[in-house]
Amino acid sequence: MSKLTGVHHLALTVTDVDRSVPWYERVLELRETGRREDPETGLRKVLLQAPGDAFSMVLLQHPDTERGTFDERRTGLDHVAFTVPTYGELKQWEQRLAAYGVTYSPAKASRTLPGSAVVVFRDPDGIQLEVWAGVDS
């Protein structure tokens, strides 16, 4: 059996794609590469691409999306973690998030993955996002 080699894309359900897409474009530097709306089901999908085609993300808005607050303690998604090559770049992410008014936790050493550090923040729907780097890099 062949082995998995990576993640093709990540799909997140959001309450309002028109609010979330500009946030993801601005804060994470993703670019919109496709959009589809199904008039029969009311489903709205927007495809976003990372610089250099590193990964793709799909934001989905279902017509009956619950407007409740995201809670990682529910079954399903807990968080999404991205990586940058160096600790210096992780510190640059702190500056970027601050510049866009995004609340975040400053880079701190991880107890889960020794030798790495993480910055934690949330998207407009409260979905937890993280940026990771090695502390020795």
Domain 9-64 and domain 78-137, same fold? Reply is: yes
Domain ranges, ordered by start, for the chain: 9-64, 78-137
Nearest to 125 by CA among 71, 74, 49, 83: 71
The answer on pLDDT for 129 being more than 80 is yes
Q: Which pLDDT tens digit goes with each residue over 27-85?
A: 999 999 999 999 999 999 999 999 887 889 999 999 886 667 777 777 778 899 999 99
How would CATH label the architecture of 9-64? Roll (3.10)
Class for domain 78-137, per CATH?
A: alpha beta
pTM of the model: 0.88
What is the C-alpha separation between 62 and 24, in angstroms, rounded?
18
Mention every residue, 6+ apart, whose C-beta is less than 8 A from residue 28. 50, 82, 129
